[in-house]
Structure 1
Amino acid sequence: MSASTSALQDVGSVDDFLNVAAIETVPLFEHLEFEFLLEYDVFALSERGRTRVHKPPDLFRGFLHCYYENIYGTRPVTRELQNGLVWYYCGLDKPPSRDTVDRFFTDLEHVIDDVFDRLVEQAAARGLLDSTYSIDSTHIEAIQYNNAASWNYDPTAEEYYYDFGCTIVSTGAKIPIAAEFTQAKQANKGTAMRVTCDALAVDTPVWMLGDSAYDILDWDDHLLAAGVVPIAPYNPRNTDDPKDIEYRVEDRIEEHSEDVQLKQSILGETYNDRTGVERTNDAVKDCGLGRGRARGRIHVRAQVFLTLCLRLVVAITNYERGDNLGSTIITV
């Protein structure tokens, strides 16, 4: 994603560090505040009143820096935050210990999905969302000794793979706005409905696009009732009496014609925009989504949402700097 952090190890002065960091993660924190992390009870003082040497917003910046640099896991993160003046730039008073990094990540696991939601709100406030939402699932390769994952089969590649899954709703320039971590790539009906509801809670689009896996009556009805046009290819295998239609909404539109006006000629043209969610999946994988590098479901889930947070932070940073919103890197 960016230059190797080995460049930071030879930094001899503050000026040298800032010159190196100018092409690294310095811009990531210029336009965003993470003080809202202090609002979470999980980061409150312990019953004994022990103060935290390192503040949650600063440690969060440290994790964002490391994920941007393709550094994952509490041990490598701790090691990176000992290097040069990385810890100083992230706002830390001194390098954190391994125990501190472990404890912060464990606490963050309890609220990381809400942190993601707060960053989505910041993206929405900047007008980075558009009127078309797309939903899709992607797989997250698991390490072999993570017994919380599951084996799945890819008929295209004709091979089995060991993974978790993540269902994402995206919009705009590769902006994820809702997500759910799942046991396997293929999302079930319940997951589809929950992620869709979360996306609509952000804002109400005109269109919601999904592949044939989202040819679900309840999904269609929920969106139509909300004034959103769902476009998913009709799957004739779902019934013994298939209809002569291309999209499920063709059959449902009459029932909701008072709420939704639809020119059927634009269905196919609009559905072509669904590739946007696939590009979002690729962008988030550039931020580290592609592989779960931790043991256990909870740790991997936290890593997944951290990568989603990083994607939002990069997009917002590029917006504020007048750069390409869809890019997964920060340019000088």
Structure 2
Amino acid sequence: MSSSTNALQDVASVDDFLNVAATETVPLFEHLEFEFLLEYDVFAPSRRGRTRVHQPPDLFCGFLHCYYKDIYGTRPVARELQNGLVWYYCGLDKPPSRDTIDRFLTDLEHVIDDVFDRLVEQAAARGLLDSTYSIDSTHVEPIQYNDAASWNYDPTAEEYYYGFGCTIVSTGAKIPIAAEFTQAKQADQETAMRVTRDALAVDTPIWMLGDSAYDILELHDRLLVAGVVPIATYNPRNTDDPKDIEYRIEDRIEEHSEDVQLEQSILDETYNNRTGVERTNDAVKDCGLGHVRARGHVHARTEVFLALCLRLVVVITNFERGDDLGREKLTL
């Protein structure tokens, strides 16, 4: 029996059921405090002393609610927040205008990276991360009229696509802990190094897994120096004299260490966990990564990180309620 059917049995009337459906996102705001948004200068009152009618934490909750409900774009978000139950349970004193929504999103652009990092810290503080990190990139599809996007070739799918990309490091139950918005799905070496650095700043895992796109010598050496074992499939296209190995780490250990040995079975078994990052990509796409409706590069990047933030909030909420961390929707 579906959760919606269960909810319907527990209420006395259709109106009550609609109220339950409208406030399904309330648990998202029960276990997390978003007051830290008030610390950012970008949300401070203007020089003329004009105060904000709507506070940033409440507007942030409004966006979380909308993204959870698959509502994207400033116009649809403003329309959804006209619902009395919705704006009330998000903490707003009254429905915000579309201009207010747009202005908040523009201000959020300046701090969205830090907001994401703060939520990652809250997940880490609850012990939700594990000892295996995985890195992967995914395609971000924009609206048709986003001129900042471009045509790119996806060698995995062997086809061209119009859009952006996002490189994500994940761990545990579909938990994104570091990310970067890119012009194309395929991340370059600089992006891979930067996202890996951000992930290691959260905590130091035992393993870092990646496909052949992350068969990068400098990346492997940096991880080994940090005490992390990188397992990325060897890419013979990187050299004119390919080696007879399955994973790059086999060559790095042979070259730099006489005392360390890793059996092929251990490498294979550990690498099989890499599919976790693909499930994370899918979970974040369900949170809005796959529905970027903003125009321009900066606005699109903000919406991508809002989706990442929502995924973290859902994971933390599941934890606090004793539910399966990997669930992508809350239990009613």
User: Under a length normalisation based on structure 1, what TM-score does the superposition of the two structures give?
Assistant: 0.92
Deviating above 2 A after TM superposition, structure 1's stretches of 4 or more consecutive aligned residues are 14-22, 153-160, 254-265
State whether structure 2 residue 303 is matched by structure 1 residue 307.
Answer: no
Residue identity (%): 83
Residue 77 of structure 1 aligns to which amino acid in structure 2? V
Whichever residue aligns with residue 326 of structure 1, its letter is G
Aligned residues: 322
Question: What is the aligned partner in structure 2 of residue 6 from structure 1?
Answer: none
Aligned residues: CA RMSD: 2.1
Give the whole-Å Cα distance in 1 for the aligned partners of 2:34 and 2:258. Answer: 44
Q: Which residue of 1 aligns with 2:295?
A: 295
Confirm or deny: 8 A CA contact 1:228 1:260 kept in the other structure: no
Q: Deviations over 1:43-77 (max 9, x none)?
A: 01111111111110000000100110111111111
8 Å CA contact 1:207–1:231 kept in 2: the answer is: yes
**Does the C-alpha gap of structure 1 residues 134 and 156 become closer, same or farther in structure 2, counting only changes over 3 Å?**
closer
Question: Matched residues in 2 for 1:36 and 1:239: separation?
Answer: 49
Is contact 2:138-2:166 (8 Å) kept? yes
Q: Secondary structure at the match of 2:151?
A: strand
Match of 1:130 in 2: 130
Residue 19 of structure 1 and its aligned partner are, at CA, apart by 3.4
Aligned to 2:102: 102
Deviation of 1:88 after TM superposition, in Å, equals 0.8
Distance in 2 (CA, whole Å) between partners of 1:87 and 1:159 is: 43
Q: Report the more deviating stretch, 257-266 or 197-206.
A: 257-266
Secondary structure in structure 2 of the residue aligned to 1:327: coil
The CA deviation at 1:293 is 1.1
Give unmatched runs, 5+ long, in structure 1: 4-11
Change in Cα spacing, 1:74 to 1:26, as seen in structure 2 (3 Å) is same
Residue equivalent to 2:92: 92
Q: Please give the alpha-carbon distance, in whole angstroms, between the structure 2 residues aligned to 1:66 and 1:256.
A: 51
Equivalent in the alignment of 2:321: 321
Give yes or no for contact 2:154–2:185 (8 Å, CA) kept in 1: no
Residue matched to 1:212 = 212
Q: How does 1:1-332 map to 2 (within 5 A)?
A: 19-21=20-22, 24-154=24-154, 159-257=159-257, 262-332=262-332
Secondary structure class of the residue paired with 1:292: coil
> C-alpha distance in 2, partners of 1:142/1:236?
33
Residue identity in the other structure for 2:238: N
- Structure 2, unmatched stretches of 5+, are 5-12
Q: Give the Cα separation in 2 of the matches to 1:87 and 1:283.
A: 26
The offset of 1:255, in angstroms, is 4.8
Counterpart-to-counterpart distance in 1, 2:198 and 2:84? 41
- Offset of residue 259 of structure 1: 9.3
1:292 Cα offset (Å): 2.0
For 1:142, what is the secondary structure of its paired residue?
A: coil
Alignment partners' CA distance in 1, 2:21 and 2:232:
47
Tell me the CA shift for residue 221 of structure 1.
Answer: 0.3
Query: Aligned AA for 1:325?
Result: L
Distance verdict in 2 for CA 1:159–1:16, change over 3 Å: closer
Question: In the TM superposition, what is the alpha-carbon distance from 1:176 to its structure 2 partner?
Answer: 0.2
* Structure 1 residue 143, shift from structure 2 partner: 1.8
Deviation, structure 1 residue 21: 4.0
Query: Structure 2: which amino acid aligns with 1:38?
Result: L
The 3 A distance-change label for structure 1 pair 32 and 299 is same
CA contact (8 A) 1:227 1:260 kept: no
Q: How far is 1:264 from its partner?
A: 4.1
Note if contact 2:170-2:277 (Cα within 8 Å) is conserved in structure 1: yes
Question: Aligned partners of 2:110, 2:145: CA distance in 1, in Å?
Answer: 24
What amino acid is aligned across from residue 324 of structure 2 in structure 1? N
Check whether the contact 1:137–1:165 (CA below 8 A) recurs between aligned residues.
yes
How far off is 1:85 after superposition?
A: 1.9
Report SS of the residue matched to 1:118. helix
Q: What's the offset of the Cα at 1:263?
A: 3.9
* Partner SS for 1:205: coil
Say which SS state the counterpart of residue 36 (structure 1) adopts: helix
SS in 2 for 1:166: strand
User: What do residues 204-233 of structure 1 show as CA deviations (whole Å, max 9, x unaligned)?
Assistant: 000000000111100000000000000001
Structure 1 distance, partners of 2:188, 2:49, is 44
Q: Deviation of residue 260 (structure 1)?
A: 6.2
Aligned partners of 1:157 and 1:277: how far apart in 2? 18
For residues 212 and 141 of structure 1, the distance between their equivalents in structure 2, rounded to whole angstroms, comes to 23
